Structure 1
Amino acid sequence: MRDTQSQTTTLDSLPEIIIRYTGGHRAHDSATTITAFTDEATVVDDGHIYHGIAAIEQWLGQSSTEYTYTIEPIAAQVIDNTHYVVTQHLEGNFPGGTVDLRYQFTLNGNGTLIEQLTIEP
């Protein structure tokens, strides 16, 4: 995703669906988090691609039980009306113990669900 035209925004001014995702993810609430995705959504994380609700739900369950960690959103950018980037600070018992990750969201055409999420440093 290109962000050459991005603008910084406040976390509370992000689309509701991103706020729902980040809140659910932060609370390790997979049931809430999964409702943010389209049925055919794709998540790219740590070199793996998860396509469809079943695969994403499995990824969410695994990521919330494999390590103990906290998540704090620290920055947000608007690329355009369907592309957003949220930088989140994670601390926990995973290798390295701390990392800032860019969560790159692509929303569906009407901005009500997540079509793609790419997570990378």
Structure 2
Amino acid sequence: MMKPFAADAVFLDNGKRFEGTAEIRALLQEMVVDLKAIFTPDAVRHEDGVVVLEGPAHGDFQVSPIRFTYRVGLDGDAIKTMEVSA
């Protein structure tokens, strides 16, 4: 899951900021892997220079399923920024 992220990537998760691969890896371990979260995008578009993905996620968390929006900023083939909101 970490391969697409740039070394200096920034991940914004509901107002919390995670910078660099170590912080992003810890976040993804806790919020995706440990909770067995699966995101299934059902809408994709380009908006203001970022890729926007929307769709439901389900897993081992109370409000499953929940709808998420991901805004992904790219630098070449690498993810430079990612912002997620529910």
Same fold (TM over 0.5): yes
- Give SS of 1:53's match: helix
More helix by share: 1
Larger Cα-atom Rg: 1
> Which has the larger displacement, 34-43 or 92-101?
92-101
Residues in 1 aligned to 2:58 and 2:38: alpha-carbon distance in whole angstroms: 5
Tell me the C-alpha RMSD between the 2 structures.
1.5
Is the counterpart of residue 39 in structure 1 residue 7 in structure 2? yes
Would you say 1:76 and 2:44 are equivalent positions?
yes
Gaps of 5+ in 2: none
Identity of aligned residues (%): 21
C-alpha deviations, 1:22-79, integer Å up to 9, x for none? Answer: xxxxxxxxxxx101111100001133211001111111111211x2333211110112
TM-score by length of 1: 0.64
Alignment partner of 1:104 is 2:67: no
Shift of 1:88: 2.5
Deviating more after overlay: 35-44 vs 91-100:
91-100
Q: Which residue of 1 aligns with 2:79?
A: 114
Distance 1:37 1:68 in 2: 20
**Aligned 1:1-121 pairs, distance under 5 A:** 33-63=1-31, 64-65=33-34, 67-79=35-47, 82-108=49-75, 111-121=76-86
Count of equivalent residues? 85
Deviation at 1:91, TM superposition (A): 1.7
SS in 2 for 1:73: coil
Structure 1 CA distance for aligned equivalents of residues 45 and 60 of structure 2: 28
Query: Larger relative contact order (C-alpha < 8 A, sep ≥ 6)?
Result: 2
TM-score (norm 2): 0.86
